[in-house]
Structure 1
Amino acid sequence: MLKPNILIADDHPLLLKGLEDFLKEKKYNIIASCTDGLSAYNTIVKEKPDIAILDIEMPNMTGIDIAKKCKRHQINTKIVLITLHKEKKIFEDAVKYNIQGYLLKEFALTEIEACIADVCQGKSYFSEKIYKRFSHTTGDTTSIENLTPSEIKILRLIADEMTSTQIADFLSISTRTVEKHRANIIRKLHIDQKPNSLLIWSQKNKELLL
């Protein structure tokens, strides 16, 4: 996705214009800018942008509400939230509803290009400050619910200290398939991509996998 179609929405006109001008200057394709949640959602349904960059608090519908409806109706637009909020509940909602990006407004213009690049590649992007604050709390049932049965099964085997090759042999699948599952698990649980990080997480949260 070289030039994603982007919708932006914010009920603060100056912030909306600032973000729109910045992205246009960087040659991004802005297909719409909205000042309330309902018009943003209706435009997403109609235009199906690749990415929707949304303020969390807007009249009529919040950014979280829009993400919920997109997930419920299987709309493929990737959601990026921009907010002043640093509350744990909002971060957990972002994880729960498969929101691909979560940016703090104070860092939005600094991080937005990196965020768009990661989201276009199917990765998640969370502002470093908010990720460091809450990432250790994402190992709960909310995060686990995002995993498929196959991913849960593989995570259990990882917790038992089986290697990818051993898991592949045990499940009669290819090692490449196991590695793909591992990458998806890391992405969904927002685990640092460091050596043994998935093993450490799985053993620390073994009771969630029962």
Structure 2
Amino acid sequence: MNPSIIIADDHPLVLKGLHDFLNENDHNVLASAKNGKEALTLIKAHVPDIAILDIKMPFYSGLEIAKKCKADNLPTKIVLITFEKDEKTYLAAKNLGIYGYVLKEFALEEIENCIDSVIKGKQYFSPELLKFLEVKELPKHLDTLTDHELRIVKMISENKTGVEIADTLSISPRTVEKHKSNIIRKLKLESKQNSLLIWAKENSEFLDQ
């Protein structure tokens, strides 16, 4: 069954173009909105599978709507469409767990692929955007670490010893070693000496919180 979709854009031509395109391709468009307030009201009323939102809209931006949906635990998966090739916006979208980020100039070409990915529970980001930002993929399994574990890995990347880490975190060196073992297991690293140190050094840019 086709996923239910709500779309929102404050440019009437973009909104109409997207609406017509999705309808022609047999997508289940429940409603469309021309600003962020309308979009949020529609999402709360219908709880669609997917909401395709312009980033910049009156009242609420697509990112603000995503934040509100997350706070309310709404299962709707958010896809942003935008002209913005902006790293800050991209990272904000990633941090909010947004499912799609499609550049408007490629929207009609890419929206089908994006919807397919989202249905499968995979994120979709415009290849052009990733190329433009030269985005590095997040290291595998990094998202399995807790904030506490990330902090330990960060300190390892800064050449801190087990004793120094223990002092900083007010825990015993033995507990630090336990954490290290868990981190190595979660990151699926080989249990060689220094494997965690090498990994931490190579991925230090991803460890800043």
Q: Same fold (TM over 0.5)?
A: yes
Query: For structure 2, which runs of at least 5 residues remain unmatched after alignment?
Result: 151-178, 192-197
Relative to the length of structure 2, the TM-score reads: 0.71
Aligned to 2:115: 116
Whether the 8 Å CA contact 2:145–2:186 is kept in 1: the answer is no
One-letter code of the match for 1:96? N
Q: Which has the greater radius of gyration?
A: 2
One-letter code of the match for 2:146? P
Partner Cα distance (1:33, 1:117) in 2: 20
Aligned to 1:157: 185
Shift of 1:157: 3.4
Query: Pairwise mapping of residues 1-210 of structure 1 onto structure 2 (< 5 A)?
Result: 2-132=1-131, 133-136=133-136, 147=144, 149=146, 156-157=184-185, 161-162=189-190, 204-205=202-203, 208=207
Q: Comparing 34-43 with 128-137, which one deviates more in the overlay?
A: 128-137
Whether the 8 Å CA contact 1:91–1:134 is kept in 2: the answer is no
- CA, structure 1 residues 159+47, in 2 after alignment: closer, same or farther (shift >3 Å)? closer
Shift of 1:203: 5.8
Partner Cα distance (1:116, 1:96) in 2: 20
Whether the 8 Å CA contact 1:101–1:124 is kept in 2: the answer is yes
One-letter code of the match for 2:46? E
Partner Cα distance (1:97, 1:3) in 2: 25
Partner Cα distance (2:204, 2:56) in 1: 36
RMSD of aligned alpha carbons: 3.0
- What's the % identity of the aligned pairs? 46
Partner Cα distance (1:75, 1:122) in 2: 15
- CA, structure 1 residues 155+20, in 2 after alignment: closer, same or farther (shift >3 Å)? farther
Q: Comparing 82-91 with 149-158, which one deviates more in the overlay?
A: 149-158
- CA, structure 1 residues 201+71, in 2 after alignment: closer, same or farther (shift >3 Å)? farther
Shift of 1:155: 5.6
SS in 1 for 2:51: strand
Relative to the length of structure 1, the TM-score reads: 0.71
